[in-house]
């Protein structure tokens, strides 16, 4: 791979350079950012969305670091449902409201991959592996993802996910406290690696832990500079590229050893290899989907456990639902919980868990801080009577609909019994809508249900703050944390005791 060679010398040179050189690079970066953004300020015509006041470069950090507050401030200060700002030389248009929502999600020319590339940038672009993938390669990856979620392979994953979760939960001991945004995320990361990669990787706890560290580095290492000027060798960018390189090597090693061994296994890697796809597609599948899948599912699972810890009534309802499925579908009363849960067929998990479904849906509504991003690759269009030029970036914050008190009364309150809002167009977009819907929904829901079910049956839990007391107010999702919506550090832990059922 060409990037590895160039990267190595650039990284070594930068990291071993003195503070003077590093400061000079930082100053140059700032100048580049100020110059490119100031130069691109433009007059608003009648049809153009109103621009944010003040110098354009002031938008950059808030967009990446305080997104929820920044976008709300934009709507407030412009007094409009649509406004625009500059990110370097890119025009970004923020839209809101029901008709904009429909226009945004159904617009023919709006492209998710292009939008994601410039505005998100969690994974460094490695040409041919994570970027520059032709439409054909992306559609092969999507086709393989659909294959993983067919009835048979998804059913086969159920005992494997439960066994992985059992092993992790077994290490918790009889009682204690933990941070759900670390430990529950860890369960889901393992389940996602199991579902999307190879048994060589997912059977090796040290390797899974290493992968998790590397993916965390990619996620948390995203800075305005790594997204907007990815060619600049900032320390953050170098760290991210290094992490990408290491992930790439782990995945390639797994593929090579599978191909060389000639031994066939019953896992996703085998399906990919047997499909005869080129290696870059296989690597792209594993690297790209792990990042697309693990974080969103992990955030949701962490919040489910958190919400249920603070809402004993819903905790009990969910537990009762799973217990009654066990009574009906599990053959053996002597076996462990994980083995008994594995007796419940996939179609039952998918069709007879209304309580778990309602909990997942409500958790996504209130604790999934997604901002959908697109680039208009088609001709100019109008949204809210405002011009969206060809080439512009367009974003739609999910908070516009999911936290609207007109649609969801007391929107911050976790209440899975809410009825579907019927008076509004597209009142719920938790799994996407229109042209782009989540292609991992089936897998994500199964992972969420299995891990939640096992946890609820094996442990009793409540919430405590760092002093060990029950929090006076329930934790509120922090939408400015675009990764996990995590409440302030130290404000919320899970306190647990093991039940007398064997895991
Ligand atoms: C709770 C977990 C998840 C949630 C809430 C979620 C949510 C979403 C949403 C809202 C979108 C549309 C984004 C937009 O319109 O900008 C999306 C797209 C997507 N999701 Fe998920 N997702 C989850 C898990 C997963 C998993 C586990 C995978 C893969 C294994 C996955 C793969 C994808 C892909 C490939 C797309 C892009 C579809 C396209 O390009 O047309 N997701 N997801």
Q: Of the given ranges (27-41, 194-208, 358-372), which has the lowest mean pLDDT?
A: 27-41
Please report the atom of ligand 1 found closest to the CA of residue 447: 27
Cβ 474 under 6 angstroms from ligand 1: no
Span between the terminal Cα atoms of the chain, in Å: 45
Distance 425 CA to ligand 1 centre (A): 21
For the chain, domain boundaries: 2-421+439-498
The three-class DSSP label of residue 456 is: helix
Q: Which two tokens stand for residue 482?
A: 């675009």
pLDDT tens-digit map of 293-345? 899 999 999 999 999 999 999 999 999 999 999 999 998 777 899 999 999 99
Distance 441 CA to ligand 1 centre (A): 7
Cβ 368 under 6 angstroms from ligand 1: yes
- The strand ranges marked E within 393-491 are 393-397, 432-433, 436-437, 459-464
State which of 438, 439, 442, 443 you would mutate to test the pocket of ligand 1, scoring each by most atoms of that ligand within 8 A of its C-beta: 438
Cβ 443 under 6 angstroms from ligand 1: yes
Max mean pLDDT among 75-89, 214-228, 276-290 falls in 75-89
- Burial string for 82-119 (b: 16+ CB within 10 Å, else e) reads bbbbbbbebbbbbbbbbebbebbbebeebbeebbbbbb
Q: Which residues contact 180 (CB under 8 A, 6 or more apart)?
A: 302, 303, 305, 306, 309, 492, 493, 494
* Rounded distance between C-alpha atoms, residue 26 and residue 19, angstroms: 10
Domain spanning 2-421+439-498 has what CATH number? Answer: 1.10.630.10
- Residue found under tokens 């992490």: 243
pLDDT tens-digit map of 10-35? 334 434 444 444 544 444 444 444 44
- Residue found under tokens 């969420």: 448
Distance 177 CA to ligand 1 centre (A): 31
* Rounded distance between C-alpha atoms, residue 56 and residue 40, angstroms: 8
pLDDT tens-digit map of 50-109? 999 988 778 888 998 899 999 999 999 999 999 999 987 889 999 999 999 999 999 999
Please report the atom of ligand 1 found closest to the CA of residue 398: 10
Please report the pLDDT score of residue 25 as a whole number.
47
- Residue found under tokens 């191909």: 259
Please report the atom of ligand 1 found closest to the CA of residue 444: 27
Taking phi first (over 0 means left), then psi (-120 to 50 degrees means alpha), and beta for anything else, what does residue 276 get? left
Distance 154 CA to ligand 1 centre (A): 17
């Amino acid at each position: 791979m060409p990037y590895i060679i160039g990267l190595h010398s650039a990284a070594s040179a930068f990291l071993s350079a003195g503070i003077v050189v590093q400061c000079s690079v930082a100053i140059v970066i700032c100048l580049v950012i100020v110059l490119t953004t100031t130069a691109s300020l433009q007059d608003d015509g009648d049809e153009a969305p109103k621009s944010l006041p003040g110098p354009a470069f002031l938008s950059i950090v808030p967009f990446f670091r305080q997104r929820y507050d920044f976008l709300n401030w934009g709507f407030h200060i412009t007094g409009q449902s649509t406004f625009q700002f500059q990110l370097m030389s890119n025009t970004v248009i923020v839209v809101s409201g029901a008709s904009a929502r429909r226009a945004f999600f159904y617009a023919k020319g709006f492209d998710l991959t292009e939008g994601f590339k410039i505005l998100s940038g969690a994974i460094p672009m490695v040409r041919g592996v994570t970027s520059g993938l032709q439409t054909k390669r992306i559609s092969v990856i999507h086709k393989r993802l659909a294959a993983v979620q067919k009835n048979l392979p998804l059913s086969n994953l159920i005992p494997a996910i439960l066994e992985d979760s059992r092993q992790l939960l077994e290490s918790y001991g009889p009682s204690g406290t933990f941070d759900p945004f670390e430990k529950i995320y860890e369960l889901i990361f393992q389940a996602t690696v199991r579902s999307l990669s190879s048994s060589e990787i997912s059977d090796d706890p040290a390797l899974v832990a290493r992968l998790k560290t590397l993916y965390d580095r990619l996620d948390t290492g995203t800075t305005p500079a790594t997204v907007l000027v990815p060619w600049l060798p900032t320390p953050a960018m170098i760290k991210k590229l290094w992490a990408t390189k290491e992930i790439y090597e782990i995945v390639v090693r797994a593929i090579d050893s599978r191909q060389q061994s000639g031994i066939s296994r019953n896992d996703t890697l085998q399906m990919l290899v047997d499909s005869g796809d080129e290696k870059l597609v296989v690597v792209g599948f594993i690297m790209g989907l792990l990042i697309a899948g693990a974080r969103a599912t992990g955030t949701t699972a962490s919040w489910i456990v958190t919400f249920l810890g603070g809402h004993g009534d819903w905790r009990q309802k969910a537990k009762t639902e799973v217990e009654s499925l066990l009574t009906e579908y599990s053959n053996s009363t002597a076996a462990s919980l994980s083995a008994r849960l594995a007796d419940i067929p996939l179609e039952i998990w998918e069709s007879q868990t209304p309580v778990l479904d309602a909990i997942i849906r409500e958790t996504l509504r209130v604790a999934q801080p997604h901002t959908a991003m697109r680039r208009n690759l088609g001709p100019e269009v109008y949204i809210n009577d405002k011009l969206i030029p060809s080439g512009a970036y367009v974003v739609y914050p999910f908070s516009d609909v999911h936290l609207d008190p007109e649609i969801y009364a007391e929107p911050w309150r976790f209440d899975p019994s809410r009825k579907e809002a019927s008076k509004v167009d597209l009142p719920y977009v938790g799994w996407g809508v229109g042209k782009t819907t989540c292609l991992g929904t089936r897998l994500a829901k199964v992972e969420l249900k299995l891990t939640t079910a096992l946890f609820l049956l094996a442990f009793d839990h409540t919430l405590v703050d760092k002093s060990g007391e029950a929090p006076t107010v329930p934790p509120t999702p922090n939408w400015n944390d675009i990764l996990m919506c995590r409440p302030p550090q130290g404000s919320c832990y899970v306190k647990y005791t093991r039940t007398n059922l064997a895991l």
